[in-house]
Structure formats: structure tokens, C-alpha cells
Structure 1
Amino acid sequence: MNPKEYTEHESFCLADNAELKRRFLRIIREYQNSKSLKDVKLMGMDYDFKKDEFFMSYYIGVDWIDAEKQQAMVVLPKIKSVDFQTMLMKCFTCDKASEDLDQVFFIRTEDKPIEIDSSSFQMEPLLIVYFINLINRIAKNGLKSGYTVREECLNSKIKGKVMMTRYIKHGIALDRREMVDCRYHEYNIDCVENRIIKNVLLYCKQMIFRVQKSLGRHLEQLLNMYSSVISAFENVTAYVSPQELQHIHLNPVFKDYKEAISLARMIIKKRGYCVEYEKKGNKYKFPPFIIDMPVLFERYVYALLNEAYGKSVQYQKGTKADRPDFLKPDEQLIIDTKYITDWKCRINSDNVRQLSGYARSKGIRRRLQVSDDSTICPCMIVYPDSDGIATFCPVSAIDSKNDIQLIDGYIQFFKVGVSLPIVYSDFPKL
């Protein structure tokens, strides 16, 4: 199977392939109103009727076109060699940036795996990060409890059901009538769901050291994340039988557990079959997955802002109608990220108008503690740039910092390019 390969935000025509065009149009019509990553199909592909062209969105990943016919697609980043693994890891340095990462990266664990080339995506490190982050979210909300069967020899008391055969053999026959063998149910966190998760977590540690070269400088950070998560399962045993794995019934109240158990089953079943290389080459199988690059870039920038300014930066604060990415009240500054590389050489007037509207919103101005209606709030666009900055400085230092540029023709309007991490020779290549 050779998946069709596209690039993020690429446009293309299918005039010479009517069958594939019809299939794309049918799927697009069916899923065009999808809002969450788990519902997005064909990597968010859309169709321009005027130009008779299909165009990709800002998602990257792998998806099925037709699973029955073994037709799949791969969408690669438009920024060559961008290290989105490092971008994801950077998000974990900031609590807010690491929240709800299913809005950034989602794996369809229940779908049939797709065979892809390791040169397209190196998925094993991302799989570890994804699973540990998912379990970390579960641990923060509190582990679920359930009934587990216990068998115990009790002294002078009965609990649950008396195991008569054992009691006669070990108690009455040996003249130890006060020792009663009982089987009973106990309500605790050592339930089958948590045991499955702990079993996989222990295996994840082996996976971490197996791909430590790929993780590079992130190894220590990921091990710290792992230690934090595994400590929540201290009172949970790691044994799970094949019968328990096959006949587990999940309560719909625990939504995160459904995804966690689905992913855990996949890893347990063949011990990482989805990320092991085939003997005849560098192919491996992995379920369909999707990464929202603009949201990932937004979270990455937030981690950088948090590193530079701390709590003085507010994330996603505003009104119902107007919600810029970031507010910085101490400088009365509005910051918005735009995953548009063209911002380096040209001005996007639509973006300027959007931020100008934010600067005039009474609700936002109150959050920025602006009391004078004549005060012009400074605005700043943050965009990806290979020659951009790695850290932020105050806008008040603009005269001594050339990386933050004042946009000609506008008052108090700035732009700054942020350099994205790049995959080097000692890291997996895209």
C-alpha cells in the first residue's frame, strides 16, 4: 500500500481521476461540519467549486480514503523538517499549554492501522507522549474505583462468601475453625481498568529507553512526566489476564478511560505492533492520527510567552464575541498567533483588521485595564519564521530589539517571527 502524499495547505486538481474526485466530494459533504479533531476526515480537505480544485487544511497526519480498498493519504507539514515533537514537548513546560491536548493531537485508536513510511512520521515517541499525557489527565481528575474480587483467610470473622471446600480442608480438618476462607468484593482503585493502564505504563518505560535517541534532549523531561503519572498508580497492581482484557465494560461516565483503554489494548495486544518496523524495509503500521498545526503553534508560543513573562500573560481571555489568543495587561498588549509564513514578507490586512477590532472591544479593554477611550492598545502578530526569535522581550524594549518590528502604515501595530524547532541529523527525519 502506497498512501497518497500531500502537503499541508496544498491545492490540487483531480480532473483526470473522476472516481477519486467523487469519493473525496462525498466524504467532504458528509463531514464538512466537523468541529473536533476526532470527527475530521481527509485531514480537513475542502473543495473550491469555482477553481475546481481541492485544497488541504492546516492539519497533518494520516487518514483512510477507503479502508476496504486499502487507500490512504499522508499530509506532511508545509514547513520542511519542522520538529513538531519538540513543539509538543515544549507545551508540557506550561500547565495551560498542555491542557486538552486532544485539541492538538488525536489518534483514532479504534480504526484500522495504516502502513506508512518511517521517513514521513516517526510515531513511537509521539505515541508515548500522547498516552502519558492522556493518563496524566485521568490522574489529575482522580482514578476511578471499581469492585475487585478478593480471596482471604480471615480470623474469627466472615466477609462475603465462605469458600466451603477450602474452609473444610484448611480450617476444620486442621482444627483451626476460627480461620475462615472467604471471597468478597472490595471497592478500590485496583480495578481492571487501572491495572490495564499501569501494565501499559510499565511497558511505556521500556519504549522510552528504546527510542531515547529519537527523544534526544526530551528524554529527561519525558521521564519526569512518566514518574509523575506512575506515582498515581502506586496502589494498583500491574497484572491483567487476557480474559479481563477482552471482556472489559467501560462506564460511559469515564470518557477519558474509553480512549485510554482502547490505546492500551492496542499496545498490549501485540506489544507495540503499530510502531515496529517490518523486516523488509522501513514501513510500519499506525492508526489514523491528526495534528492541528495552528493550535500546536499557538500552544508552543504560549509556552514561550509563559517562560518569558509568567502569569502576566492571559491565555484565551476575552468576551464571547472577541477572544484573542493572549492578553498582557501590564503593557496593555493584545497578542495573536497566525500560522502564516507569508507574514514575514507581506501584511495580511484581514489579520490587522481582526486585531484592531479586538483593541476596540470594551470587554477586552477592561481586561487590559484601559480606562481612557483615547488610548490605543498595542497589537502584535506572532508568526513562524526560520530566522525569528527563540525568546520574547517586552514591547517597551522595541527600540533596542530589532526582532519585534513596527508595521509601517499602522499605529502601535507590531509583528514578530518565532523560530520553530527543526529536525536535525540526529533526530527522526520527516
Structure 2
Amino acid sequence: MNAKKINIKEHSYSYDLNEEELIDLLKKPNQLIEEINLEKGGFKTGYFIGISRLGSTQNILNVAPKLDTATTKINYLSMLSKGMQHPEMTSFGKDLFFVDLDAKPIKVKQDQDLITPLIIVSFLQLLSIIVKKGLRKSYYKVEQNIYGNVRGKILVSKTIKQNLFRIKNLYTFCAYEEFGVDSPENRILKKALLFSIKYLKSFNTLENKFEPLINYISPAFKTVNSSISISEIKHFKNDNFFPEYNRGLELAKMIIKRFGYNINSISNNQDVNVYPYWIDMPKLFEFYVLGILKEEFGRKDIVFQFSANYGELDYLRITEGKELVIDAKYKNLYVNNNYEIDDIRQLSGYARDKKTLSKTNIKSEFWKSTLLNCLIVYPDQTSGILESFESKLFLNPISQFENFYKVGVKIPTKDIIRNEPL
């Protein structure tokens, strides 16, 4: 039986699988599927998008964003860049997407490969932060055929085979350590950078967009060699570095493996092979909103993912006299006059949490009489350009509750252009 290819949008129902296939799917849960209903004979996707095989079958599921249309697509790169430009974000980006590098790749159309550009942009943003701090220096092993001198340990076997047998009697193969930036970890980063640049060059509009970022990063790697074996890349352990390096090396390995360790395999062909992946759309929206808030209110005035006693807030504005509990909700229902009571309860708890109040400049003797304003930020494609965001904060109250407001933000989109990712 031929494998099924199911194309569906996020948060939608599919009735394309038979009962046996649904039961098989229950045995092997899939991140892209939120609910399986045997009585109705179908499944429902959640707020994750991506491509995956279903259960133990060869059936392929492709989940696209709900906001995509026939002529426009969500501009993931703009959304990601908005939040990731802030250095403190590097430690929060790990759960944004997942790529199953141990699975068999799936052949898809170029425009269905949403993950490769996302990985590359995340990687470049991290590299810019690493470069700003300075490349890590360390001791690394060097092997060199030295003329008329000896340094470190003599490699007897290599010296005999490559020098004495060829009558190069004044040369000696030596192994020694040097201290600098030309280390294995930086070579992996350099190789992935070259892969990324070639990929972006396959799509002129992407290359132009990220040229300033590449021009900023590249000079720092000028003295770093990109020569490193596949075995070294596969077995390199990146667990003793600061967060940016650890995550940067993870992404670098993903990029290199994505193209089969061969830079010449990069092209803008119509059909490409990608590993199964998923992207967390609520988290991507959360990152995007973070970028907006930090630009509008100032980087130091917005605390991201603050841990209170009750739970973890998305954002807390601590500007004196303008304190605000803010939550990003990737839900369509707020476009109308609807609300979700669990969201209201969640924000109410945050606003009354003593740990939340202690993070503000409000004195403890005033806490009992303080009712912090709560704001829900949601996607609204009818919303205009964000001008004077501050003035729009309290224009749309959720009238059933005191001090509750909502504001819609437009998710960036782009016109569909053939042979261009995202």
C-alpha cells in the first residue's frame, strides 16, 4: 500500500487514517498531534508545525501554519530575529524546535523545508553573540612537517613514510600543542558558517538580508581553519563551554549533518531531503513578542520568563509606575470579544504573587492595595504597524475583569516566491 501524504494546518482535524493506523499512532506519540479520537476516526494537530512520519508506518504528516495563505507565508526569520537579537535569549531558544537527526530523511518540496532557514538564522544570531564576546581560546593539537627543527613529540612512523622514504631527510613530522582560536570547536563553527553562507547564496534575497550579519561574523574566523574530519565532528563533545558555545555547536552539527557533511550538496533544487522536525509556534510567537516589548519599553524594563511562586510569567514590565504582567497567547479567539478563563486565572495569579510584586519597585506595605494591570498579547493580522505601542496597551479592555487588557500584533508575512524558503 502506498504511503499517505497528509497536508494539514496546525490546530486542525484529519480523517485520513484508518483505525489500525490510528491505534499504531497511539503506541508511538507524535509531537505534531495533540489528540487522537478513535470514535471519530481522526486526529487533531496542535500548535506545532513540521514534517514527520506517523507511528511505525511510512505515512507522512506535513503540518503548516494556520496563518499561511495561497499567496503569503509567515516570515519565520523576521519573527526569530526579533527576539534572538537580545543576548539573554540564547539560553531560552533550545526548545523552539527539534530535528530528529537519527531518523531517515523525508523528501519534500523546497518551500516545505521550514527548518533549515530557522536553524541557520538561529546559528548566525548565536555566532554574532560569540564573536562579540570573543572566540574561545584553548590548547589544541597540531601536526606539522618541520624543516630542520623539532618541536614537541616526533611522529616516527609518519617521518619515515613521508620523509625518509622520499629522501626528505631534513624534515621531521612533529606533534605539539598550541594556544589560540584554531581549535576543534571553532573549526566546527567555521565549517557550519561556510555551509550557512553557501545556503544563503542559493537564495539571493536571503543573502542580501543577512549580509551585514555575515560581514560582522566572518572576520573573527579569518585565522580559523575549516578543515575537520567527519569523525571529529560526530564525536566532539561540547559540554564544557558557556551556553552560547554549547548551543552554537549543537546547531553547527545540525547544519553540517543536514547537508550530508558535504558543502557541494547545497543547492536550491525543487526537491530536498529533510530530517523530521517540529517547530513550537507559541514559543516562536513568544520570542517575537519579546523583541517587540524590549524595543518599545527598553531591554532592562522587561523581565522574560520570571519565576514567581505561582509559576513562570512570560514577561514582567518593571518600569516604575507602569508595572505590567504580560502574557503572549498564540490563539485566534482573542481577535473577537472572546477570552479563555484559564488564561485569566493564570495572569490573575501572577499579578497577586508576592514574588512578582517583589520584583517591581512597589514597596511591600502597598502590596495589599495593589492590583497590577494584566495584558494579553495575541496575533492579529488585521492589526496595523506597531506605532506608539504604549498608547495601545489599554485601548481594548477585557470588560468582564478588572485591570485586564489585550492587544493584537501582526505577525510578519512575506509573499510566496518560487524557489525561496520561508
TM-score normalised by the chain length of structure 2: 0.80
| Correspondence list, 1:266-305, <5 A | 266-267=258-259, 269-271=261-263, 273=265, 276-277=268-269, 282-305=270-293
| Correspondence list, 1:63-142, <5 A | 63-65=52-54, 70-80=58-68, 81-121=73-113, 125-133=117-125, 142=136
Aligned to 2:345: 353
Partners of 1:93 and 1:411 lie apart in 2 by: 35
Aligned to 1:383: 378
Aligned to 2:243: none
* Cα distance change of structure 1 residues 389 and 362 upon mapping to structure 2, 3 Å threshold: farther
Partners of 2:296 and 2:393 lie apart in 1 by: 17
On the 8 A contact 1:42/1:64 being kept in 2, the answer is no
Unaligned runs of 5+ in 2: 241-245
1:185 is displaced (CA, Å) by 2.7
Aligned to 2:143: 149
Q: Does the alignment pair 1:4 with 2:6?
A: yes
Q: What letter matches 1:420 in structure 2?
A: I
Q: What letter matches 2:303 in structure 1?
A: Q
* Cα distance change of structure 1 residues 197 and 154 upon mapping to structure 2, 3 Å threshold: farther
Q: What letter matches 2:286 in structure 1?
A: E
Aligned to 1:325: 314
Aligned to 1:46: 35
TM-superposition CA deviations, 1:106-138 (whole Å, max 9, x none): 333332211112343455533432443465677
Q: Does the alignment pair 1:415 with 2:406?
A: yes
Aligned to 1:368: 360
Q: Does the alignment pair 1:161 with 2:171?
A: no
How many percent of aligned residue pairs carry the same amino acid? 24
Unaligned runs of 5+ in 1: 29-40, 172-178
Aligned length in residues: 393
Q: What letter matches 2:382 in structure 1?
A: D
On the 8 A contact 1:333/1:368 being kept in 2, the answer is no
Partners of 2:263 and 2:155 lie apart in 1 by: 39
TM-superposition CA deviations, 1:268-289 (whole Å, max 9, x none): 6343647642xxxx33211112
1:2 is displaced (CA, Å) by 5.7
* Cα distance change of structure 1 residues 300 and 266 upon mapping to structure 2, 3 Å threshold: closer
* Cα distance change of structure 1 residues 356 and 320 upon mapping to structure 2, 3 Å threshold: closer
Q: What letter matches 1:9 in structure 2?
A: H
RMSD: 3.3
1:394 is displaced (CA, Å) by 6.2
Q: What letter matches 1:384 in structure 2?
A: P
On the 8 A contact 1:200/1:267 being kept in 2, the answer is no
On the 8 A contact 2:379/2:408 being kept in 1, the answer is yes
Aligned to 2:197: 205
On the 8 A contact 1:359/1:377 being kept in 2, the answer is yes
TM-superposition CA deviations, 1:368-420 (whole Å, max 9, x none): 2333111221111100001225436465x4xxx48831221322211100011
Aligned to 1:309: 297
1:358 is displaced (CA, Å) by 1.1
TM-score normalised by the chain length of structure 1: 0.79
